[in-house]
């Protein structure tokens, strides 16, 4: 008898100034399947999406995420419009997003399971940058 196909999970993010909220979402995403693929947003996409350059370049952010034990594969997410393409390209069975995106990706329910995970409270890259640069 053949064994069941491995379950692939895909998630996306900038993962700039890597923090424990990032680690937790990656660990919890990995726990939902057998193989975790992470799309790390391109510098250009981050600039458009968040209105600032990331602190760490896409090459650095990619290297950090790729080095994590629960991560099997990484790629650069070039455009928010390509989610369906990436889900299909990596044959993902599950799409995981933070619940700041709750409901926004339900349209992909026709090709994979869509799971929103609660964000880790009280930490974000934006807050860290403000704190480190001398803000509150």
Residues at the contact surface with ligand CTP, assessed by CB under 6 A:
13-15, 21-22, 25, 50, 97-98, 100, 119-120, 123-126
Q: Where are the alpha helices (DSSP H) in the chain?
A: 20-30, 43-50, 58-66, 83-89, 125-132
Separation of alpha carbons 92 and 74, rounded Å: 13
Q: Of 7 and 104, which CB lies nearer to ligand CTP in the complex structure? A: 104
- Give exposure, 85-113, as e/b (b: 16+ Cβ within 10 Å): ebbeebebbbbbbbeeeeeebeebeeebe
3 or 133: CB nearest ligand CTP: 133
Exposed, middle or buried: residue 81 (CB in 10 Å: 0-12, 13-18, 19+)? exposed
Q: How far is the CB of 3 from ligand CTP (least distance, A)?
A: 30
> For ligand CTP, which is the closer residue by CB, 1 or 67?
67
Nearest position to ligand CTP, beta carbon: 98
**Minimal distance in Å, beta carbon 59 to ligand CTP?**
16
CB of 95: closest distance to ligand CTP in angstroms?
11
Cα–Cα distance measured from residue 39 to residue 12, given in angstroms and rounded to the nearest whole number: 5
| CA-wise closest residue to 77 among 120, 33, 14 | 14
Closest CB 86 distance from ligand CTP, rounded Å: 15
Residue 15 or 86 with smaller CB distance to ligand CTP:
15
Shortest Cβ 13–ligand CTP spacing (Å): 3
């Amino acid at each position: 008898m053949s064994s069941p196909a491995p379950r692939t999970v895909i998630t996306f993010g900038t993962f700039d100034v890597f923090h424990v909220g990032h680690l937790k979402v990656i660990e919890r995403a990995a726990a939902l399947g057998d193989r975790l693929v992470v799309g790390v947003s391109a510098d250009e996409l981050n600039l458009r999406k968040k209105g600032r350059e990331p602190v760490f370049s896409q090459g650095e952010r990619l290297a950090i995420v790729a080095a994590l034990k629960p991560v099997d594969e990484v790629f650069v997410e070039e455009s928010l419009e390509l989610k369906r393409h990436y889900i299909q390209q990596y044959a993902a069975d599950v799409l995981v997003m933070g619940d700041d995106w709750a409901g926004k990706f339900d349209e992909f329910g026709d090709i994979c399971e869509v799971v929103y995970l609660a964000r880790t409270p009280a930490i974000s890259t934006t807050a860290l940058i403000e704190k480190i640069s001398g803000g509150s």
